[in-house]
Amino acid sequence: MSSLRRSIPPAPLDRPRPPPRDAAYRAALEETTRARVPLDWARTQTNLATALQTLGARESGTVRLEEAVAAYRAALEERTRARVPLDWARTQTNLGGALTMRSVPRGPP
């Protein structure tokens, strides 16, 4: 096993980073419209919100967290309690997490 480790070169530290996930979800929202497929649109909004929340947790400001809150709230317009109760509950929980993160004091934006 140790000979295998010696034969694999280390990954370069300067390799390009993949594009942020939020960009991919924003692009998907251009195709997955609310009018055509409302529940798919809501799922994509939730995925966007989760990506923004993850990015926002790593940053000193709250801009991304504000965007995450807005995206979760948009998703809840279609993910209603009556229509999809489990998705509604999950999205409400995620929204609560984003609101909590947003309320924690942070550094300058």
- Does residue 7 fall inside a structural domain? no
Query: Residue 2 above 60 pLDDT?
Result: no
Residue 1 reports pLDDT greater than 50: no
Residues 81, 31: Cα–Cα separation, whole Å: 25
Residue 15 belongs to a domain: no
Do the domain assignments include residue 32? yes
**Whole-structure pTM over 0.75, yes or no?**
yes
Q: Do residues 71 and 45 make contact, with C-beta atoms less than 8 angstroms apart? A: yes
**Enclosing domain of residue 52:** 20-103
Q: Is residue 53 part of a domain?
A: yes
Interval 27-84: pLDDT, tens: 999 999 999 999 999 999 999 999 999 999 988 889 999 999 999 999 999 999 999 9
User: Which two structure tokens, joined as six digits, stand for 38?
Assistant: 């409302």
Q: Total structural domains in the chain?
A: 1
95 belongs to a structural domain: yes
Euclidean distance between CA atoms 63 and 85, whole angstroms: 29
Answer with the residue of higher pLDDT: 97 or 20: 97
**Residue 92: inside a domain:** yes
CATH number at residue 76: 1.25.40
